[in-house]
Structure 1
Amino acid sequence: MLSRIIYCTAVLLATIAVILLALFSPQPYRKNLTPFVALSFYIRQPRVTGPEASPVEPPPPPAGALIFHHTLTEGPENTSQVVGKAQGFIIPVESFAHSAFNIIYLTIHTNQYSGSISIQAKSLIHKEREVLGIVGGTGSFAFVRGLAVFAKTDEAIYHIKLHLKFSNGS
């Protein structure tokens, strides 16, 4: 009889605990509550210092591949805070112009966002201003879509404006 009372009490306490947890547990944490976000960054060539520093090399010939690893900063100044990096692999040859390999990856680490954004670079025309499509991301930018506007501001600096649209489940 005593074991039956203990068993019923344990079941009752477990049921009460489940109900209380369901009623008073905190909501899941979400970083992005707004479905649209606009961000602005600057892409700069890496700073090379010391005796091995050499002048900026000319761009590769049109038939070669363009592989780059640049710094992503908050502003255009040399003293701007570095918030990530921009990396890419682009084959500007006409037969590869619409290749899935032509992607620019932005990796961003700020107080508000942490993750990466994939930008499709299929339609590069090498103008002073390019509008490219965002095809996905990771971390804070999971499943993001939108546009990336690249504008050349200096010989070694690009201003990038990101117009992001998050999916409903973000």
Structure 2
Amino acid sequence: MAMRLVQSTNDEPKEVDKWIQKLHDGEGKISRLHFYFHDTLSGKNPSAVEVAEASITKKSPTVFGLLNIFDDPLTEGPKSTSKLVGRAQGLYGSAGQQELGLLLAMNVFFTTGKFNGSSLKLSIREMPIKGGTGAFRLARGFVQAKTHFLNLTSKDAIVEYHVVAMHY
């Protein structure tokens, strides 16, 4: 069974054609976004789960070979009670044997405000924006991520994101 994970506001061919016509005549925009990514592996309702590990992962100081899948809330502030602005879905794994090295692929989609229904595709720490949907079609830019909180025991984390997205 296949299903869409992220949906833009209107994907009808006629609407996309109208959008392309506006693109030809329009100037690019720059949007600056700021939000917090809550990655929770602990508790009754985790937003991230471990899905695979290598035979050496438990012995590795960097948990090399560990792979997690996530569907994390994005909020305006660092507290979990802050206003929800969207979700981040994707996967990350520990790719460094000697030092911590994270491999990350995620889609960030917005559920409120003027970007409701739009998404960005991100690929880490200073991450390039590789495209998007809705208002972010043909987006490019960058994201700077900074760890706001990390619990090494539970592996729960809150990551602050600063986004600069150029789009039409």
TM-score for both structures, normalised by structure 1: 0.59
Question: What CA deviation, in whole Å up to 9, does each residue of 1:92-146 have, x standing for no partner?
Answer: 436xxxxxx952110112221121110114xxxxxxxx21101000011111000
1:119 aligns to 2:92 (yes or no): no
1:35 aligned partner:
29
The structure 1 residue matched to 2:74, chosen from 65, 72, 75, is: 72
2:129 aligned partner:
134
For the aligned residues, what is the CA RMSD?
3.4
Which contiguous aligned blocks of 4+ residues in structure 1 show a shift greater than 4 angstroms? Answer: 46-49, 56-60
* Pairing of 1:70-109 with structure 2 (within 5 A): 70-93=72-95, 102-109=104-111
CA separation in 2, counterparts of 1:83 and 1:48?
22
1:165 aligns to 2:166 (yes or no): yes
Alignment-mate amino acid for residue 118 of structure 1: K
Alignment-mate amino acid for residue 95 of structure 2: V
Q: Which runs of 5+ in 1 are unaligned?
A: 1-27, 95-100, 122-129
TM-score for both structures, normalised by structure 2: 0.60
Residues 1:57 and 1:66: Cα distance change in structure 2 (over 3 Å): closer
CA separation in 2, counterparts of 1:48 and 1:93?
22
Question: What CA deviation, in whole Å up to 9, does each residue of 1:49-82 have, x standing for no partner?
Answer: 7xx469x999973112232221101111232111
User: Which of structures 1 and 2 has the larger relative contact order (alpha carbons within 8 angstroms, sep 6+)?
Assistant: 2
Alignment-mate amino acid for residue 41 of structure 1: F
Structure showing greater Rg: 1
CA separation in 1, counterparts of 2:132 and 2:148?
26
Q: Which runs of 5+ in 2 are unaligned?
A: 1-17, 58-62, 97-102, 151-156
